[in-house]
Chain A
Amino acid sequence: AQSVAQPEDQVNVAEGNPLTVKCTYSVSGNPYLFWYVQYPNRGLQFLLKYITGDNLVKGSYGFEAEFNKSQTSFHLKKPSALVSDSALYFCAVRDDISSGSARQLTFGSGTQLTVLP
C-alpha cells in the first residue's frame, strides 16, 4: 500500500523569499515520487520527479525537490518565489511492487501556495 501526506493546506510566502511545500510518503517498495501544479481552471502540470540516487531533483520553472529517505520526505522548494507561482500543488507517489489499481498514482491532499507581492 502507498500513501502521501501534505501536512499544510495553505502556505503563504512573500515574493522573493524561498518557499517550501512539504510532502511525506509511505510505500511498500521503492518510491516513485512526483510533483504537479494546478493553476485555476487548468489541468495538472508535471513539475518534476524523483530520480533514484539524486537527493536534489531540479524541475520546471526553477522548482526543485529534496528527497530524504530516512524522513520519507520529498519537499518541493524554490529559492525565490514569484507571485505567478501561486497555485495548488500536489505531491504524488507510486511504488514498484503493488499491482492493479494499487499501483496507480496516489495523490496528496494538495497545498495552496499564495505568494504575496
Chain B
Amino acid sequence: DTEVTQTPKHLVMGMTNKKSLKCEQHMGHRAMYWYKQKAKKPPELMFVYSYEKLSINESVPSRFSPECPNSSLLNLHLHALQPEDSALYLCASSQAGQGPNQPQHFGDGTRLSIL
C-alpha cells in the first residue's frame, strides 16, 4: 500500500469539463509534487510545493491549476484540457529542507483520458 493516496484512480472528461485531482499524505512531508507521465516514459515534473507555497511551475499551461490547501493535501484543478493531456498524473511527497538525499514517495496516480 502506498502512503500517498490519489483520487480518483481513473477520470474521463470532455474538453469543456472542469474536474479536480486530489492527493493526500500523512507522512508529515512539507514538499509535494505533481508529475505527468506518458506510457513507458519517465515522469515529467509539473509543479512543486514547499511548505504549502508554490515554488516551481515548469511552464505548465494555465488549464492546469494546482492548489495546496494544507500540509497534507494537494489538488490539481483541470479545465478545458486537450486530448494530448491524456496521461497518468502522479503526486509525490518528500521531506523538505533536509537536503537532496530525501526520496520522493509517489501515489498510484490518476489515469486521465480526455475525449
Chain A residues proximal to chain B, CB less than 8 Å: 32, 34, 36, 41-46, 49-51, 88, 90, 94-96, 100-101, 103-105, 107-110, 112
Instruction: Please determine whether B48 and A46 come into contact, CB atoms closer than 8 angstroms.
Output: no
- A36 to B, closest residue via Cβ: B106
Return chain B residues, CB-CB under 8 Å to A107: 42-43
- B107 to A, closest residue via Cβ: A43
- A109 to B, closest residue via Cβ: B42
Most buried by A among B2, B48, B101, B106: B101
Instruction: Please determine whether B100 and A95 come into contact, CB atoms closer than 8 angstroms.
Output: yes
Interface set, chain B 37-81, CB cutoff 8 A to A: 40-43, 45, 48, 56, 58
9 A-B pairs whose Cβ atoms sit less than 8 Å apart in the complex: A36-B106, A42-B2, A43-B108, A46-B105, A49-B103, A51-B101, A108-B42, A110-B40, A110-B42
Instruction: Please determine whether B90 and A101 come into contact, CB atoms closer than 8 angstroms.
Output: no
CB distance from A94 to the nearest CB of B (A): 5
Docked pose: A90 CA to B44 CA in angstroms: 13
Supposing A43-B90, A88-B40, A105-B45 touch, asked if A32 and B101 sit within 8 A by C-beta, the answer is yes
Instruction: Please determine whether B100 and A96 come into contact, CB atoms closer than 8 angstroms.
Output: yes
Instruction: Please determine whether A101 and B41 come into contact, CB atoms closer than 8 angstroms.
Output: no
Instruction: Rank and list the top 10 A-B pairs by shortest CB-CB distance, nearest first.
Output: A107-B42, A43-B106, A44-B106, A32-B100, A43-B108, A46-B103, A94-B100, A32-B101, A101-B56, A43-B109
Return chain B residues, CB-CB under 8 Å to A100: 56
Return chain B residues, CB-CB under 8 Å to A44: 43, 90, 92, 104, 106
Supposing A42-B108, A44-B43 touch, asked if A49 and B56 sit within 8 A by C-beta, the answer is no
CB distance from B113 to the nearest CB of A (A): 14
Return chain A residues, CB-CB under 8 Å to B4: 43
